[in-house]
Amino acid sequence: MGYYTRASVLTDFETLVTNLGGNPLTLLNEVGIAPQQLNNPEEWISEQLILELLEKSAADCECPSFGLELAAQQGLKLLGSLGVYLMRQGSLEQSLELVTHYAYTECGGLNLHLDRDNPEHCCLLMSRCESDYRHYPQKVQFCLGLLHCYLRELIGESWQLQSVEVTQRLHPRLHQRFERFFGCHVVAGRQRNAIQFQSQYLNSRPRQQLELIDQVLGSQVSTSLVKNRSEELLISLERVIRTLLPTGDCNLEAAALSLKLHPKKLQRELRRVNTCYRTLLERVRKQEAMQKLQCGEMSVSHLALHLGYAEFSVFSRQFKQWFGVAPTHWRPGDKLTN
């Protein structure tokens, strides 16, 4: 079973393809992605299908920079609560630590590593897991483009890359497009995919986009019928938990920060409705486990990572408590009960 990626990575895919003269519905259907899946940014789609979609779109639209053009449509807003949490970290380095944990949900199978060996500049490197970048150059473009866009939003106008390295070989016109997009020197045909920037940025405090923060938090309950303030809080908190779980940083303090609340105030609000953070956390974890496994979206090993468990043994004990069977004995098709 392969990796899965949030449907949010295809935000504005249909608009981009249409503007390039292509037919987005035809492309989606040809690779096996139902167009309606793009309506829910939190839905999970097979990474293999997305890889095929990016390559096919680039070819059919005759746009060799398709990955970059799609990345240009993305922003922290699409990360929802996580985007808010990234903006509210104490430094860019802390934000990057979260990004490295969460990257696989935006680009399945992607590992990120921050290299700080040089005191003057640092590198954010992409390493592949199952995907071969030689066969999927659009993934390289898309992932590097996403990183650049996210970091530019976090830092603001002063953000500037020093250089970019890509494994893809670029013809002159495509090379020019890369350098315009990243605003720096791009070296193609290398052994790694990386962006390099000045180390001083790591100590910068992420830019607080208050309007965006309010918009994200407000949208969390806009589609729900909320009867009272407590219900609104629980809806928002559960969505924050779902977002933060894959980062491995889903504690009370992190959730409160995402909701613009003091941790003690959040605790008081939860006590008012006769619950606590740990109860909600475990409820959301169990719900996520049931959904992902019954829909065939994840293997149990991937699920443990997605639910924020640092050790598989801890996840295994909790899984057996939930469903009465060890995760290593669970098989696709087995019925899970509440």
Whether 153 and 114 map to the same domain: the answer is yes
Across the range 29-55, mean pLDDT stands at 89
Question: Residue 194's domain is classified under what CATH number?
Answer: 3.90.1520.10
Whether 182 and 78 map to the same domain: the answer is yes
Whether 48 and 155 map to the same domain: the answer is yes
Dump pLDDT digits (tens) for 15-29: 999 999 999 999 999
Q: Is residue 128 part of a domain?
A: yes
Whether 189 and 45 map to the same domain: the answer is yes
Dump pLDDT digits (tens) for 296-311: 767 788 888 888 888 8
Q: Which pLDDT does position 74 carry in this prediction? A: 84
Q: Which pLDDT does position 228 carry in this prediction? A: 56
Q: Which pLDDT does position 281 carry in this prediction? A: 93
Q: Which pLDDT does position 212 carry in this prediction? A: 59
Q: Is residue 210 part of a domain?
A: no
Whether 245 and 157 map to the same domain: the answer is no
Whether 120 and 229 map to the same domain: the answer is no
pLDDT > 90? residue 61? yes
As a three-state string, the secondary structure of the chain is: CCCEEEHHHHCCHHHHHHHCCCCHHHHHHHHCCCHHHHHCCCCEEEHHHHHHHHHHHHHHCCCCCHHHHHHCCCCHHHHCHHHHHHHCCCCHHHHHHHHHHHHHHHCCCEEEEEECCCCCEEEEEEEECCCCCCCCHHHHHHHHHHHHHHHHHHHCCCCCCCEEECCCCCCHHHHHHHHHHHCCEEECCCCCEEEEEEHHHHHCCCCCCHHHHHHHHHHCCCCCCCCCHHHHHHHHHHHHHHHHHHHCCCCHHHHHHHCCCCHHHHHHHHHHCCCCHHHHHHHHHHHHHHHHHHCCCCCHHHHHHHCCCCCHHHHHHHHHHHHCCCHHHCCCCCCCCC
Q: Which pLDDT does position 69 carry in this prediction? A: 97
Whether 247 and 173 map to the same domain: the answer is no
User: What average pLDDT is seen over the chain?
Assistant: 84
Q: Which pLDDT does position 138 carry in this prediction? A: 93
Across the range 253-257, mean pLDDT stands at 86
Q: Is residue 123 part of a domain?
A: yes
Domain count within the chain: 2
Whether 78 and 224 map to the same domain: the answer is no
Question: Residue 280's domain is classified under what CATH number?
Answer: 1.10.10.60
Dump pLDDT digits (tens) for 82-140: 787 888 888 999 988 888 777 666 665 567 888 888 889 999 988 764 445 677 899 88
Whether 77 and 9 map to the same domain: the answer is yes
Dump pLDDT digits (tens) for 163-220: 999 999 999 999 999 999 999 999 999 988 999 999 999 999 998 765 655 555 555 4
Q: Which pLDDT does position 185 carry in this prediction? A: 97
Q: Which pLDDT does position 55 carry in this prediction? A: 96
State percent of the chain over pLDDT 90.
Answer: 40
Q: Is residue 215 part of a domain?
A: no
Whether 337 and 282 map to the same domain: the answer is yes
Whether 192 and 237 map to the same domain: the answer is no
Whether 78 and 113 map to the same domain: the answer is yes
Q: Which domain holds residue 325?
A: 220-338
The pTM (predicted TM-score) of the whole model is 0.74
Q: Which pLDDT does position 257 carry in this prediction? A: 81
